[in-house]
Amino acid sequence: MSFSADEVARFLGGRVIGDGKIRITGIESREFASEGDITYALTAEEIESISSSRASCVLTTIEKEKYSKTVILVGDIKKALTIMYNAMLEVMPPAKGNVHQSAVVSSSAKLGKDVTVGPNAVIEEGAKIGDNTVISANCYIGSDVIMGRCCRIFPNVTIYSRTKLGEKVIVHSGTVLGADGFGYVPKGDKIYKVPQMGNVIVGDNVEIGANSCIDRGTFTYTEIGDGTKIDNLVQIAHNVRLGKNVLIASQTGIAGSTVVGDNVMMGGQVGIADHAVVGKDVKLAAKSGISGRVAPGRIMFGYPARDAVETKQMYGLMTTLLRYRLELKRFLRGLPKADPEEKRDPGIESGP
């Protein structure tokens, strides 16, 4: 599938300078681009260097009198690339399926049309894999897993039994879906394991980063809503329910039975205690600590998290107190205000 530069410019709301009839078949960076690719230039220096690229066309915001290649001028490079990338994914023809000879696929597993299974992958009994899905090398797909069409499972992913994935789910390398949750009951001199009998349900158009873990439910299920995007190194515990279009940055940990509403955004290293409830449209700043309930639409910051405005005011007050702590000590001790020209009492100045 290819598009002319004129078609791309109209789609992106840009303007072509050069040959608008050249055909574009892909997107690539300057260093790796080949004929038919469109690339991008963010600075004047990059514009000067595009002549050495094999790309056929360049997206840029930099205007000049003459370019060495056909250019599409746009207002926002990141937005334009994102729109074009997703549009091309929609129209790209699916790859022809192939099951590698070293893969182990149960005779009771059902593979849809044009499914690709990489070297040393294992698909257990009763699994159902949707059309045009790619399961890369060394993946493990447990028994009775259900996976929708057009999923992409990168190498070394482990998906435990009975996990359900919707359509167009992307799971990056090293991720584990459906492992037992962290549930134990201490009694006497022993610690007893709570049964982890549920599963994980992942909606459509979800992307899960590398080396993340989503645990199965205890007696019910752990749910990841449609459109949710999860970064690398994220832990989601048993029975957690994430709404639609949730964004979670790296190293965030969400404890068991937490409910997160639609459109919530979490910065890196957010920590959420068990049984918390986070309302829809909430924004949690990086390293925020959450427990209890957060009302919809709030912006939270700090550990423990408070309203972001209050937290910033608190940090500002702490800075002021540190700056004037010596004067405050004198005031509290009933001493006169120190003369800035005089040497201060070491006893007053010492200490935090």
3-state secondary structure 184-205: EEEECCEEEECCCCCEEEECCC
Sheet bearing 253-254, strands edge to edge = 104-105, 122-123, 140-141, 158-159, 176-179, 213-215, 235-236, 253-254, 271-272, 289-290
**Confidence at residue 129, expressed as pLDDT on a 0 to 100 scale:** 97
**Confidence at residue 142, expressed as pLDDT on a 0 to 100 scale:** 97
d(CA 22, CA 13): 18
pLDDT < 70 positions in the chain: 1, 93, 338-352
Query: Which tokens hold the place of 12?
Result: 């992106």
Of 100, 172, 238, 275, the catalytic one is 238
**Confidence at residue 181, expressed as pLDDT on a 0 to 100 scale:** 94
Single out the residue of 45, 29, 48 nearest to residue 37, CA to CA.
29
pTM of the model: 0.83
**Confidence at residue 349, expressed as pLDDT on a 0 to 100 scale:** 47
d(CA 161, CA 146): 9
**Confidence at residue 338, expressed as pLDDT on a 0 to 100 scale:** 66
Domain 157-304, CATH among 3.40.50.300, 3.40.50.150, 3.40.190.10, 2.160.10.10: 2.160.10.10
d(CA 3, CA 8): 7
CB atoms within 10 A of CB 86: 9
**Confidence at residue 339, expressed as pLDDT on a 0 to 100 scale:** 64
d(CA 255, CA 238): 8
- Return the CA Rg of the chain: 28
**Confidence at residue 320, expressed as pLDDT on a 0 to 100 scale:** 79
In order, the DSSP letters of 58-96 are EEES---S--SSEEEE-S-HHHHHHHHHHHHHHHSPPPP
Burial (Cβ within 10 Å: 0-12, 13-18, ≥19) of residue 62: middle
- What distance, in Å, lies between the first and last C-alpha atoms of the chain? 68
Is 53 in contact with 39 (CB distance < 8 Å)? yes
Single out the residue of 59, 70, 60 nearest to residue 23, CA to CA.
70
Query: Which tokens hold the place of 318?
Result: 């702490």
Is 7 in contact with 70 (CB distance < 8 Å)? no
Phi, psi of 296 (to 5 degrees): -55, 145
**β-pairing, 190-193 with 184-187?**
antiparallel
Contacts of 308 (CB under 8 A, 6+ apart): 283, 285, 299, 300, 301
Burial (Cβ within 10 Å: 0-12, 13-18, ≥19) of residue 299: middle
d(CA 317, CA 109): 63
Give the C-alpha distances (Å, rounded to integers) separating 273 from 112, 204, 260. Answer: 40, 27, 12
Reported as a single tens digit per residue, the pLDDT across 306-324 is 787 787 777 787 887 787 7
Is 300 in contact with 290 (CB distance < 8 Å)? yes
**Confidence at residue 310, expressed as pLDDT on a 0 to 100 scale:** 81
Is residue 172 among the annotated active site residues? no
The residues spanned by each domain of the chain are 3-91, 157-304, 313-349
Q: Which fold has domain 3-91?
A: 3.40.1390
